[in-house]
Amino acid sequence: MHSITTTKALETSLNDLRKKNQTIGFVPTMGALHKGHLSLVQQALAQNNVVVVSIFVNPTQFNDKTDLEHYPRNLETDKESLATLSKNLIVFAPTAQDIYGGALFTNTYDLSPLDSVMEGAFRKNHFNGVATIVELLLNAVKPHKAYFGEKDYQQLCIIKRLVALRNYPYHIIGCPIAREPHGLAMSSRNSRLPKDTRKAANFIYHTLKTAKTKFGIEHAKNIKEWVQLQFKNHTLFRLEYFEIANANTLQPTHVIENNTNYRAFIAVYANEVRLIDNIALN
């Protein structure tokens, strides 16, 4: 495994590999790596000769300053976990100054209507921040394939839109959600949960699974109300949103149409820790 901190050094290394016809996979992350991240890296390793894993906590995508301050950072431990996977890995951990080429900035993209709902509605300018850093990273790595988790399904749709808008040749691949044994979707933020809350948080996935069993039998509106009821007066978790949405347009729906894929999306607070999850309904 190779560790690189500047865009220039990355470019030199990758150009050498490209000359040898090596295919390059890319997994962007914000670090504090868990098995969910590693599952993306493993898929990328299975499909490419070399994989670049970027580790960069991007300040511009945080709408909440406290969330940014408390975001876990474990670069050395992250490198150790990656080193156990393969020799054909490059860890790219740039400074903000390097990857932004100077001061931080946020581009504005036409992400409508994907960014008008759910994470986009509750986290102001989050997706312009995400798209900006992902565009910078994609152009630094120029991968054949880049891997994103369905854990952040809306983000995955936004990245596909970004690549289409810019006509980039990068192939964007969505990967399944990795879960803790009791069902909670793995997340770097889970380490901020007290042990009991972390265990109890299987309630979120359990609620999504029950919503799925109701889908197609009950009206979407009734399912949404049922979910809201589950969280009403809950002592540990506060529901921010639950939506049943078209899996392509992400627009929340009350009417279920044939030949259309739907997903359920949820965002929940456990004290100040924000957790998101989603599930395919059909």
At position 147, the amino acid (one-letter code) is Y
Q: Which residue has the tokens 């983000």?
A: 155
- Which parts of 82-111 interact with ligand AMP (CB under 6 A)? none
Asked if residue 26 binds ligand AMP (CB under 6 A), the reply is: no
| Range in contact with ligand AMP (rule: CB under 6 A) among 63-71, 138-146, 184-192, 205-213 | 184-192
Residues 6+ apart with CB under 8 A from 126: 61, 62, 63, 119, 120
Question: Coil, strand or helix: which one is 162?
Answer: helix
Residue 174: closest CA among 278, 266, 89: 278
Q: Does 187 bind ligand AMP (CB under 6 A)?
A: yes
Please give the structure tokens belonging to residue 9: 């050094």
d(CA 187, CA 278): 13
Which residues are tagged catalytic? 37
Total residues in contact with ligand AMP, by rule CB under 6 A: 17
Scan for tokens 């894929």, then name that residue: 261
Q: How far is the CB of 222 from ligand AMP (least distance, A)?
A: 29
- Interface of this chain with ligand AMP, residues 140 to 159, rule: CB under 6 A: 148-149, 151-152
Q: Give all strands (DSSP E) within 16-72, no chain letters.
A: 24-29, 50-55
- Closest contact distance (angstroms) between CB of 134 and ligand AMP is 9
Q: Name which of 4 and 185 has its Cβ closer to ligand AMP.
A: 185
192 binds ligand AMP (CB under 6 A): no
When the beta carbons of 118 and 223 are compared against ligand AMP, the nearer one is 118
- Which of 7, 43, 54, 188 touches ligand AMP (CB under 6 A)? 188
Is residue 242 a contact point for ligand AMP (CB under 6 A)?
no
State which of residues 4, 24, 25, 29 lies at the interface with ligand AMP (CB under 6 A): 29
Does 132 help bind ligand AMP (rule: CB under 6 A)? no
Of the candidate residues 4, 10, 37, 245, the single one contacting ligand AMP (CB under 6 A):
37
Among candidates 234, 181, 188, 176, which has minimal Cα distance to 207? 234
Which residues, in sequence order, are CB contacts of 81 under 8 Å at separation 6+? 33, 38
Cβ-closest residue to ligand AMP? 149
Of 40, 114, 118, 270, the one binding ligand AMP by CB under 6 A: 40
Q: Comparing C-alpha atoms, which of 23, 57, 53, 56 is closest to residue 38?
A: 53
Using a 10 angstrom Cβ sphere, with 0-12 exposed, 13-18 middle and 19 or more buried, the burial of residue 67 is middle
Phi/psi of residue 235, nearest 5 degrees: -80, -25
- 43 touching ligand AMP, by CB under 6 A: no
Applying CB under 6 A, does 175 fall inside the site for ligand AMP?
yes
CB 148 within 8 A of CB 155: yes
Q: Give least dist CB 12 to ligand AMP, A.
A: 25
Q: How far is the C-alpha of 250 from the C-alpha of 153, rounded, in Å?
A: 9
Which residues would be at the binding site for ligand AMP (CB under 6 A)? 29-30, 36-37, 39-40, 148-149, 151-152, 175, 177-178, 185-188
